[in-house]
Structure 1
Amino acid sequence: MNTITSASSLTSTSPAPAALAPAVHALTEPGGYLMPAPELSALLGVGPADWARFGAHWDALTLDTHMADGGTYRFRRYGQFEVDASTDALTRLPHAPYLQESTINPLNGGVERHFDPLTDEFAADPLLRSLLLAMATLFTAVDGTAAWNIKLHPYRITAGDDQTGQPAPEGRHRDGVTFITSLMINRVNVEGGESAVFTDSGEELLTTTLTGPGDLLLGDDRRTLHSVTPLHPVDTTAPAHRDVLVVAFTAR
């Protein structure tokens, strides 16, 4: 296991509680919150150059060969961390297969899925450290838990004239964790990809299309379901993709 330290001028400790108050309130009450890119960038102390550097890691993703629908539209990597929000100790865990129960993921669950690990450059990026610490502080304020397991899923969903991109091929779902987040990294030549959060009874809490690098959608996975609509290319003669980072926090 590797404890991640920061040698950057980016924020390396958790943000002040006041900055997180709107998100804490929204996650405590209805269970979902949209943090626009300017709000997250200010929280982390980052700018366009930081997002551009971080987004370049998505060019190193590899094909997901475990899609039960036969699709070849998803590229990804996978890794885990643990964090103690009381001390800002962030530790990268050894690489392991990813497993979801089939009751949670009826499309791809029930089997161990072996994905390529996060690159060392991605795992050590100072923006990632700042992001994970900020989210840990937020979720601790909501839930009261300081120790978290973190699963990271950087995704690139491609779309073309011959194949629709499916960010959430399982439809409206939950992930079987405590909190689930989706961070927009980049959209290139695509339309669609509308995200929605629902209560268990089907009430729509919010609907949004994540557009700019840093738009962040957060949800209490115990009390909500979420979905994302399919992607289509705007120009079918040019490459088209949607890059996001899905981060799942599970209380330990």
Structure 2
Amino acid sequence: MDRTTDSAGIEAARTALTATGAHLMPPAAVRAALPGGSDGWARFAAHWEELSPDPYAASRGTRRLRRYGHFTVDPETGEGTLQPHEPFLQPDRTNHLYETQHREFDPLTDAFLADPVLHSLLELLGKAADALARPERWRVKVHPFRVTAAADSEGQPTPEGRHRDGVTLVTSLLIGRENATGGQSTVYATDGREVLSTTLQEPAALLLSDDRSTLHGVSPIRPVDADRPARRDVLVITYTAA
């Protein structure tokens, strides 16, 4: 890992989050903070082949696969402690589709939990979140997602539309995409003004936003080649000051 690049990437994220509420960390800066090089990244990305169908998204016409886990993270050390598995409940006044619904998702796999890339990501994101709050501990929710689309059915990364997650920091890390067009991520100020808009294209591109002062959404994906399915794999991690 290149610690100089790592430190510069974190400082740029911290500065942008406090100044504008959003930041796009380029893949090179993210990879500098992760262990294992290209082999480590490939091993981490392979966990997306072990996701489970999301029946709640399916009921609204989107084929989405996911898992879910909940950690506490020590702000001083960046060390994450896995919490007992529980249903995922959207905070009040955030996601109008699901905010009163306890959703049951399969837990993160043992291999995912043991992956050093995950723990380095928790440390990296904790350093960015520190610019927004200084809690005694962070409540951290980890959601690996895959959204797919076909010629006759677009994929909806955010079927709820523009929304908040009810957290302090929300992040989206691109793991990979194939045969997909669309998937534009946009962060908005509360007055509707566009703060940042980007399409995550290169694996390890990382979008961060201050969820207390912004909203966000992602446009649908569709196949480039209509004869083959499209997919978009992301890792969403949120930090909430406890």
Match of 2:213 among 207, 223, 246: 223
Change (3 A) 1:101 1:84: closer
Matched, 1:48 2:38: yes
Q: Retained in 2: the 8 A contact 1:198–1:204?
A: yes
Matched, 1:27 2:33: no
Matched, 1:130 2:120: yes
Name the TM-score, length of structure 2 as normaliser.
0.93
1:112: how far off? Answer: 0.4
Matched, 1:232 2:222: yes
Q: Retained in 2: the 8 A contact 1:76–1:155?
A: yes
Residues 77-131 of structure 1, C-alpha deviations (whole Å, 9 max, x = no match): 1001111021333201111000014621111221100000000101111000001
Match of 1:99 among 86, 89, 102: 89
Amino acid at match of 2:82: R
Following the alignment from structure 1 to structure 2, what is the Cα–Cα distance between the partners of residues 117 and 178? 23
Following the alignment from structure 1 to structure 2, what is the Cα–Cα distance between the partners of residues 216 and 228? 14
In the alignment, structure 2 segments of 5+ residues that lack a partner are none
Following the alignment from structure 2 to structure 1, what is the Cα–Cα distance between the partners of residues 78 and 216? 29
Q: Which residue of structure 2 lines up, in the alignment, with residue 4 of structure 1?
A: none
Q: Which residue of structure 1 lines up, in the alignment, with residue 173 of structure 2?
A: 183
**How many aligned residue pairs are there?**
241
1:189: how far off? Answer: 0.6
In the alignment, structure 1 segments of 5+ residues that lack a partner are 1-9
Matched, 1:85 2:75: yes
In the TM superposition, structure 1's runs of 4+ consecutive aligned residues that sit over 6 Å from their partners are none
Q: Retained in 2: the 8 A contact 1:181–1:246?
A: yes
Q: Which residue of structure 2 lines up, in the alignment, with residue 152 of structure 1?
A: 142
1:62: how far off? Answer: 0.8
Following the alignment from structure 2 to structure 1, what is the Cα–Cα distance between the partners of residues 169 and 137? 13
Q: CA RMSD in A?
A: 2.0
Q: Retained in 2: the 8 A contact 1:180–1:218?
A: yes
> 3-state DSSP class of the match of 2:97?
coil
Change (3 A) 1:175 1:42: same
**Structure 2 matches for 1:166-205, cutoff 5 A?**
166-205=156-195
Following the alignment from structure 1 to structure 2, what is the Cα–Cα distance between the partners of residues 45 and 121? 16
Q: Retained in 1: the 8 A contact 2:134–2:241?
A: no
1:72: how far off? Answer: 4.2
